[in-house]
Amino acid sequence: MRVQTKLPKVGTTIFTVMSQLAMEHKAVNLGQGFPDFPVPDALVESLDRAMRAGHNQYAPMTGIPALRQAIAHKTERVYGWRPDADSEVTVTSGASEAIFDAILAVVRAGDEVIVLDPCYDCYEPAIDLAGARAVHVSLDPQTFAPDWAKVRAAVTPRTRMLMINSPHNPSGAMLSQADMREVAAIVREHDLLLLSDEVYEHIVFDGARHESALRYPELRDRTFVVSSFGKTYHCTGWKVGYCIAPPALSAEFRKVHQYNVFCTFAPAQHAFAEMIEQHPAHYDELGAFYEAKRDHFAEQLRSTRLKPLPVPGGYFQLVDYSAVSDLDDLAFCRWLTTEHGVAAIPLSPFYETPPAGQRLARLCFAKNAATLDAAIERLRRL
């Protein structure tokens, strides 16, 4: 039987490829973005209590009430605005599901969605499956700052949505208040929807403030804001996230969510509800926790031939490897993994058209000290 693919540009993700290569060659895996240190004890204990209490069957489609209320309270505490827990907060099976649901809910065949390259690799497949077209606008190749004039020039009568991501994966760049004012002006002038990917919202450094779309009333009225418990609580394998959107958008979002996964891992929802309410210090202190890792790792990298770039937020460190090799990034990361035992992620899969001659790779520093030390020992031999 002949199968006609709906995703002709999609193969196995670079994260799977590099993690598999790392396993095969016993490399230190600084590629895929997962922590290798423990989940907070209080969260594990809450999960255990929830399972033993019998919370093991289907959760409500939108999320258990206690968790939605906890999210609403946390949002008010952090961003100064409280969403309606019943009509504006939906718990999802990870942030990727939320991104998929938001796009499928409102993007129609023939529409266009503007994405800022480099961007996370799940964006375009979701747009493709909606029958729409991703319009790629490149960020500055050195600073990863947006050029809003280029974004405006990319808007056409078919444009339905703009997607933003701050702190940014893979670069860690962050959008400023001035950037958010530009975003607000663009979506207002062209009547666009906004999808704001904010999964690293609590991992910000140097006293900076995360400029969530939820801080801006003009944006709240037309935005899907996507967050991740996995990134905040070191449990990426639990696959729990959430989406905050105004009632009309949430209603459409939930139509897709209920026929995609219907509901999300029930005992974890009870555990997160307790964790948010009883241990707010965890997310309050997350930036400082990762900032110490960032600083130590960057200092160690300076003893190698790799040049670390600035990291304003998130838990990824970009390095310029041009002093080591002139290989393209895919070849370099494969060589680094197979020959030197450190797995990294190339940047080119995050682009539609990678910048010519770019020699950057992404390393994850969400690792314990022993893992980072082992990687540095190998990188010093380059």
Closest C-alpha to 264, from 247, 241, 235, 231: 241
Residue pLDDT, tens place only, 137-195 = 999 999 999 999 999 999 999 999 999 999 999 999 999 999 999 999 999 999 999 99
Query: Which strand (E) or helix (H) includes residue 115?
Result: strand 112-117
Closest C-alpha to 82, from 90, 91, 70, 72: 72
Reply yes or no: is the peptide bond before residue 60 cis, omega within 30 of 0: no
- pLDDT greater than 80 at residue 277: yes
Residue pLDDT, tens place only, 33-76 = 889 999 999 999 999 999 999 999 999 999 999 999 999 999 99
Of all residues in the chain, the percent with pLDDT exceeding 70 is 100
Closest C-alpha to 62, from 257, 237, 275, 271: 257
Q: Which domains does the chain have, with CATH numbers?
A: 14-39+284-379 (3.90.1150.10), 41-279 (3.40.640.10)
Residue pLDDT, tens place only, 184-243 = 999 999 999 999 999 999 999 999 999 999 999 999 999 999 999 999 999 999 999 999
* Contact predicate 301/377, CB 8 Å: no
Mean pLDDT of the chain: 96
Closest C-alpha to 35, from 205, 169, 235: 235
Residue pLDDT, tens place only, 282-310 = 999 999 999 999 999 999 999 999 999 99
